[in-house]
Structure 1
Amino acid sequence: MSPPKETHTPPRQIRIGDDWYDFQAAIEAMGGDLVGGGTERAENLRDYIAWVLRRPGSTMPKRPPAEMAEQIRKRGAEIKREAEAKAAARTRTRKGA
């Protein structure tokens, strides 16, 4: 069971770029479950931060095997296309309202 999420700080927005889609694909490839309509990207980032800061109980994050790199890039591109299509649909809906 994961430790409770710390909610005493406001959410932070960071810009990752297209690597964000590949990161999601990598999490999926390693069996990451969907959480709240997305993957466990934020949880994985928090785990990485805890490991870098040498927090008690933290462990080095797992990463997919190198031979999965091409599969991950292809899935990342697919996720990006899906996200762009959703954004375009929202824009069209707003303009038509």
Structure 2
Amino acid sequence: MSARFDIGRIDDVIHGRLRLGVMAYLANAEVADFNELKSVLEVTQGNLSVQLRKLEEAGYVAIEKGFLGRRPRTRVRITAAGRTAFAAYLDALGQLIGPPPPA
């Protein structure tokens, strides 16, 4: 087996479809409101909450709760550790897939 093919480098926390979507979105946006993520990812509030909690427990996102006027507001921000983990995840995935075939 090739040393390049190391499935163990895939971060299971990020690899779930919804968590991957959150990380990909935040990698570009840096911060997003909960409802923005819910809309973009087309998921239920409960499902998003559970997946965000997993990312938060891993230290990949920070969740900030507050108010905008009288309305509750939850914002999700990618952390430095999250950005590093996401870059490593993408690198590991790239290693598994390999270079594109010549055109």
* TM-score normalised to structure 2 length: 0.32
Structure holding more strand per residue: 2
* TM-score normalised to structure 1 length: 0.33
